[in-house]
Amino acid sequence: MLKKLMIVMACVLLLVLVGQCAFAQDTTGLKGRTEIQAAGAWLKTEVGSRKPEVTVIGGNYGTFIAPKIELQGALIYGNAKGLGSTTGHAWLIAPAALYNFVPETPSATVPYIGAGFTYANVSGGGESNDSFKLQYLAGVRFFLGGDYATSNKAVFIEYRHTNVDFGNNAKVDMIWTGISTFLK
């Protein structure tokens, strides 16, 4: 676990440092903007042999520290049904660093990739487990009514992968979608 944590931390640090150096002279992009997201998700997971139905809602707050680099934090709540007589609840805190593929010519479409960590508190049936796992994600923003330079609204869709502990190591694959507001 510690080895994986150190590898991801090194990769995120390298991503930020390379991004800062490579794009230090680049005045385009999203640097200095703040992003606020509201989202919901379709989630696929397995808990032992069970495949619960999971409803997920949450929000993200991010700030662009360079034209193409965003530091983001997510707060996510999940409710799982289909665990026998138990309903599961989960709270996740998920910080991440994102690299945005921002073109030099303003575009309405901006894809991105990212990596970070997920702290999860999962409870149900009188049990409660905490876990701290790696996460990775990839997605795309579609700016509404303009491009990334002129619009302050976007819709997004992304794939997130992490694991949580609830009696076992459950893989979580999530399609996270919602709307973003950008502040200058």
* Topology classification of domain 2-183: Porin (2.40.160)
Tens-digit pLDDT profile for residues 147-184 = 999 999 999 999 998 877 655 667 778 898 999 999 98
What pLDDT digit, counting tens, does each position of 37-92 carry? Answer: 999 987 767 666 667 778 889 999 999 999 999 999 999 998 877 656 667 788 99
Q: Tell me, what amino acid is at 24?
A: A
DSSP characters for 5-23?
Answer: HHHHHHHHHHHHHHHHHHT
The first and second tokens of residue 144, run together, are 């509404």
For residue 57, what are the CA distances in angstroms to 76, 102, 170? 6, 27, 19
Query: CB–CB of 80/86 below 8 Å?
Result: no
Residues in the chain, total: 184
What's this model's pTM, rounded to 2 decimal places?
0.79
